[in-house]
Amino acid sequence: MTLNIISAEDTVFTGEVTSVTLPGTKGSFTVLRNHASLISTLSDGKISYVADGNVVELPISGGLVNVDNNVVSVCIY
C-alpha cells in the first residue's frame, strides 16, 4: 500500500509500506493492505511504518489520516 505523509512545510514521506501504526485520538491503530476506508484525527505520539523491511518511527504532535483503496494519506502538524 502507499503511504503519503505531508506537513505544512514539506512532503515527509511517500512510498510503499507493508503496515502503518498511527496514534489515533481514541487509541493507536494499525493499517494493513486492504484495510477498510476510514478518516481519523491523530494525537501526539509516533507514526510507525514498515518500508523495505525497516521500521521507521516519526514523532508527531497531531494530524489527520485518510485511508482509502490502499492509500494512507497523513497530514501532520
pLDDT digits (tens, 9 = 90+) for 51-70: 999 999 999 999 999 999 99
Q: Cell numbers 476510514 correspond to what residue?
A: 38
Domains of the chain: 2-76 (2.60.15.10)
Average pLDDT over residues 29-40: 98
- Comparing CA positions, the residue from 36, 38, 65 lying closest to residue 49 is 65
DSSP element (H, E) containing 43: none
Q: Is residue 33 helix, strand or coil?
A: coil
Backbone angles phi, psi at 20, to 5 degrees: -140, 130
pTM, to two decimals: 0.95
The DSSP call for residue 62 is: -
pLDDT band at 21 (very low <50, low <70, confident <90, very high): very high
Cβ burial of 13 (10 Å; 0-12, 13-18, 19+) is: middle
